Chain A
Amino acid sequence: MPTIIKLKNINKTYYSGAPLHVLKGIDLEINRGELVSIMGASGSGKSTLLNILGILDNYDTGEYHLNDVLIKNLSETRAAYFRNKLIGFIFQSFNLISFKNAMENVALPLYYQKTGRKTRNKMALEYLDRLGLKEWAYHMPNELSGGQKQRVAIARALISKPQIILADEPTGALDSKTSAEVLDVLKKVNATGMTMIIVTHESGIANQTNKIIRLKDGIIEKIEDNSEHNFSRFDIQNIK
């Protein structure tokens, strides 16, 4: 399978106060269509890595190729363009715009692709329908449950037909039942061939992915193949 993400010796240091070397040379390749999870304790650099993957943050040295495009020192406008075209985001706190209804929230990425309002609203309804939220299309985010909000966010991530989906703790704010439902949706999306990277600290979530990338202190500790999904729910390796 062709590589979609290629990281070569990525380094990132934060300079607020004392310099903090967060990523210390990350090398990583992710193939198209993979379902990958990134795990690590807080402070391991997993959020920073996700932000760099999502072009929400820049890195100091190294190279990042996304879909064969070198993502380095981009202007904000250029970065926004690539985010819009290549990446779908799913956040822990959903990040829906509170004064827009579900349909308008889903349609927003298309607004930035200069799609006409009628077309994008029609498409948004289609995606909401796929996620079983058709009746909720005209509801405001505060009228939706957590699971519904996250499904709206998934629809929003999918509508621009991105190359990869980046999910940052997508079930972090949900109860176990809803988490399972949302994860099911994500797996279904992956089954259509969409590359998906999920950042999580829950081993139960990670266990459902096919590859687990373990980060520790800014380096990749190990990459585990988890195609058997027999990863311990109790994460024994981390406890010892």
Chain B
Amino acid sequence: MISLLYEIWNTIRQNKMRTFLTGFAVAWGIFMLIVLLGSGNGLKHGFAANWGDRMVNVVQIWGGRTNIPYAGFQSGRWISLDDNDLQFTSKEFADEVTAAMGNINLGSKNISYGTEYLSSGLRGVEPDIMQVEGLKIAQGDGRFINDLDIREKRKVIVISQRAREILFKGKDEEAIGKNVNVAGTMYTVVGIYYVEDRQDITNSFIPLSTAKMVYGRGVNLSSLSFTLSDKITDEKTNTDFMNRYKKRFAEEHQISPEDDNAIWYWNRFGNYVQLTSVSGFINIAVWIIGIFTLLSGIVGVSNIMLITVRERTREFGIRKALGASPVSILKLVVLESIIITTIFGYLGLICGVGITEFAAQFFEPSSGRDSFNAFLNPTVDIGVAIQATALLIIAGTLAGLFPALKAVKIKTIEAINDK
């Protein structure tokens, strides 16, 4: 075996051009495949990043202003949400809705601590909003609003990391447990949240019950959020549910079922389904292009192997005259092509992965409220890359095997006299 390897090494070393051409075809095929798959993944990751950590199966409902007179009411009536809406949502749509919560938007308020202050949107919320909006609390940064805060109408507040920086001079001062002044009312800071890739968010959160009490909102809510159960699986079930919900909402508020202006909603799941199908399309497109790239690599390798074996017919004849069996000639060719395709395939793999990782450095996730990532982390699953390389190696080997079989079948004397 070592003898055979040495023989092959000798052949490869003495036929640098041929080796290089075969190797280049393989390396290039793999390289292009990985760059392509990486680009496709970059697009997909970009889309995914725009969703961040927010839940996808969330629906938000706002009241609007009626456009159509109905049930004795004139048009132009403001529709406001209240606890009844919460009730019918969670009771009558128990199958489709998992967690329904109210939300009061108190507008922009001045928050101060000592001499430092900032202006921040203040919202009365329930604990589940944390998952719905993808809010996170770092280790040691306290907690979010909990059920006890709601029940006891505690005057507690959760502020953003940005707000902490301004109010508490960066991280120098402990913020948890301190009292801040929110437009004349004192709240105790219980937690500091952040949203991944959104450093500019400064909204502050207080318990919903506290907001109702302190700001005299009674039962009125600014908006309603709820998550969809796993019964809602695709665009059809989603649209179906939304139509039924709108109908029930119209009944509740005595709005014309045709009035589209009286209820406003944002159904994230619908958007998500659409985006998923776009992602799926990109995926298929990339794979098709990838497979064709791989095919062209295989064709390239096959061609070179064909020429190589043709070129070596005379050498094989000489070897056979000197006592080489057909099998030993086959071994020589096949093992040589395995070695060349493996080494160069690996090189192509390294270069491809290298360049995608390098590119990934340039596409840092952008942040900001309206930021949009078109391209992010354009890298390839290493398992896929290795499978593709293995495929090319097998193809290269087969590409060498068939002409070699033919070459071996040529009569020794004819092979020797081959010009």
Contacts from A to B (Cβ < 8 Å)? 51, 54, 56-57, 76-77, 79-81, 83-85, 89, 91, 95-100, 104, 108-109, 111-114, 116-117, 156, 160
Residues in B whose Cβ lies below 8 Å from that of A160: 323
For window 384-415 of chain B, which residues contact chain A by CB distance below 8 Å?
408, 411-413
Q: A100's contact among B14, B321, B412, by CB below 8 Å, is which?
A: B14
Task: Say whether A56 contacts B322, CB under 8 Å.
Answer: no
Q: What is the minimal beta-carbon distance from A164 to any residue of chain B, in angstroms?
A: 14
Q: Are B323 and A113 in contact (CB under 8 A)?
A: yes
| Chain A residues closer than 8 Å to B276, beta-carbon distance | none
Q: How far is the CA of A80 from the CA of B318 in the complex (A)?
A: 11
- Could you tell me the distance in whole angstroms from the C-beta of B417 to the nearest C-beta in chain A? 9
**Complex contact B322–A77 (CB within 8 A):** no
What residues on A are CB-neighbors of B314 within 8 Å? 95
- Residues of A within 8 Å of B10, CB to CB, are 99-100, 104
- Residues A80 and B325 in contact, CB atoms below 8 Å apart: yes
- Alpha-carbon separation in the docked complex, A113 to B322 (Å): 10
Give the interface size class of chain B.
Answer: 20 to 34
A8 to B323, CA, bound (A): 25
Residues of B within 8 A of A83 (CB): 320-323
Question: Is B199 at the interface (CB under 8 A from chain A)?
Answer: no
What are 13 A-B contacts with C-beta separation under 8 Å?
A57-B412, A57-B413, A77-B325, A83-B322, A83-B323, A84-B323, A98-B315, A99-B10, A109-B322, A112-B323, A112-B328, A114-B3, A117-B3
Q: Is the CB of B7 within 8 A of A91?
A: no
| Interface pair A99/B15, CB less than 8 Å apart | yes
Extra 8 A-B pairs, beta carbons < 8 Å, given A56-B321, A80-B324:
A56-B413, A57-B411, A76-B408, A76-B412, A77-B327, A98-B315, A99-B14, A117-B3
Please name the residue on chain B nearest to A76 by beta carbon. B326
Asked whether B322 lies within 8 Å of A89 as measured between CB atoms, the reply is: yes
Bound-complex Cα distance A114 to B11 (A) = 18
Which B residues form the contact surface with A (CB < 8 A)? 3, 6-7, 10-11, 14-15, 314-315, 318-328, 408, 411-413, 416
Total cross-chain contacts (CB, 8 A): 71
Could you say which residues of chain A place their CB within 8 Å of the CB of B319? 97, 108, 112
Alpha-carbon distance between A81 and B322 when the two chains are bound, in angstroms: 9
Residue ID in chain B nearest A113 by CB atoms: B323
List B contacts of A77 (CB < 8 A). Answer: 325-327
Q: Are B324 and A112 in contact (CB under 8 A)?
A: yes
B322's nearest neighbour on chain A, judged by CB, is A109
Q: Which residue of A lies closest to B317 (CB)?
A: A95
Contacts of B14 in A (CB 8 A): 99-100
Chain A residues near B322: list those with CB within 8 A: 83-84, 89, 108-109, 112, 156
Contacts of A117 in B (CB 8 A): 3, 6
B3 touches A111 (CB 8 A): yes
Knowing A91-B416, A114-B3, say if A97 contacts B315 (CB, 8 Å). Answer: yes
* CA distance in complex: A160, B15 (Å): 27
Other-chain residue from A80, A85, A96, A111 in contact with B7 (beta carbon distance below 8 A): A111
In angstroms, Cα B323 to Cα A160, docked, is 10
In Å, the complex CA distance between A89 and B325 comes to: 16
Identify the closest chain B residue to A116 (Cβ): B3
Q: How far in angstroms is the closest Cβ of chain B from A97?
A: 6
Contact of A56 with B412 in the complex, beta carbons under 8 Å = yes
* Chain A residue with the shortest CB-CB distance to B315: A97
CB–CB A99/B11 < 8 A: yes
User: Which A residues are in CB contact (< 8 Å) with B325?
Assistant: 76-77, 80-81, 112
Q: Would you give the shortest CB distance from B21 to chain A, in whole angstroms?
A: 16
> Which residue of A has the minimal Cβ distance to B411?
A57
Residue ID in chain B nearest A79 by CB atoms: B412
Q: Of A85, A89, A111, which is within 8 A of B321 by CB?
A: A89
**6 interchain residue pairs of minimum CB distance:** A84-B323, A99-B14, A112-B323, A56-B413, A77-B325, A80-B325
Give the distance in Å from the alpha carbon of A187 to the alpha carbon of B324 in the complex. 28
Q: How far is the CA of A192 from the CA of B323 in the complex (A)?
A: 24
CB-defined contacts of A97 to chain B, threshold 8 Å: 315, 318-319
Q: Which residue of A lies closest to B321 (CB)?
A: A89
Q: Smallest Cβ distance from A160 to chain B, in angstroms?
A: 7
Closest A residue, CB atoms, query B415:
A56
Whether the Cβ atoms of B324 and A56 lie closer than 8 Å is: no
